[in-house]
A and B are shown apart, each in its own frame.
Chain A
Amino acid sequence: MAAAEREVMTIRVETDVVVVRQRVRAVMVDLGFGVVDQTKMVTAASELARNALVHGGGGEVHLESIRNGGNVGLRLTFEDRGPGISDVQVAMRDGYTTANGMGLGLGGAKRLVNDFDIVSKRGEGTRVTIARWK
């Protein structure tokens, strides 16, 4: 089965985080990524899906296979309509946590991918975009 060019998954309950991990793994395999790349991307996706659920009250993730010249990649966009993050720079720091975590979610996810972008507005929600290239 070829990787979908673009697809959307909802994140509403805890088991959705597992379903997102499994789908991201399958698409990474389809795109021909090695096992270390797969694991890094799946782990980053797991952190961000949990953030969307716990902090954003649920959301969705868009999966897109992308191309840049001869290079192939996967881009994931996580969106929620939660309260937003008041200070993104502080939230990116290791050890920062508002919930019950290690505080490695955002900063850790950034270290596991090639491209990372976050946009958050108070009262409107948060969008995190990550990509990993082959």
Chain B
Amino acid sequence: MERIPILRMGEFLIVTIQVDMHDRLATRLQEDLTETISRTSATGVLIDISSVQVVDSFIGRVLGNIALMSQVLGAETVIVGMQPAVAITLVELGMTLAGVRTALNVDRGMHLLRRSHSRSSAPEGRHGSRGT
């Protein structure tokens, strides 16, 4: 059965979407991710969509669902690497991806995740306050 791989790196899960997803593959990723978050107690999810050339309303909705469901399970989701043409198209389509955190690239996305992780695990420390 075709699947998008989910990599685990410490507290975080990393997904790189490198195929043109049909709807069921996108829904399966959503299910696999929620299951993996709950099994591993991950605190952050990074989804790299830099190879994704089309985000239509269905895939946009799946990305929004992943962000919401991970939040309910105590993990934060960051979507990174959206191509400019995809961003322009999403806005005209009417999808704002409200509630979804985004970052320009993997480095910045990881920085965001580490910052919120260190904040929640050490509330009095001010680790990684760079850029706030």
Residues of A that sit less than 8 Å from B by CB: 14-15, 17-18, 21-22, 25, 35-36, 38-40, 42-43, 46-47, 50, 94, 101-102, 104-105, 107-108, 111-112
Contacts and interface: CB of A to CB of B under 8 A. Distances in A.
A56 to B, nearest CB: 15
Does more than half of chain A's interface fall in helix, strand or loop, or is it mixed? helix
A101 B53 contact: no
B94 to A, nearest CB: 5
Given A36-B88, A39-B89, A14 B55 contact: no
25 contacts: A14-B24, A17-B22, A18-B21, A36-B85, A36-B88, A39-B88, A40-B85, A40-B88, A40-B89, A43-B54, A43-B56, A43-B93, A47-B57, A50-B56, A101-B58, A101-B61, A102-B57, A102-B60, A104-B93, A104-B95, A108-B92, A108-B94, A111-B92, A111-B93, A112-B89
B22 A105 contact: no
B78 to A, nearest CB: 21
Contacts of A47: 56-57, 93
- B interface, over-half SS: helix
Given A43-B54, A108-B57, 9 more contacts: A39-B89, A40-B85, A43-B55, A47-B93, A102-B60, A105-B57, A108-B93, A112-B89, A112-B93
B132 to A, nearest CB: 33
B35 interface: no
Contact of A102 (B24, B85, B95): B95
Contacts, number: 72
Interface residues of B, number: 23
A39 B60 contact: no
Contacts of B21: 18
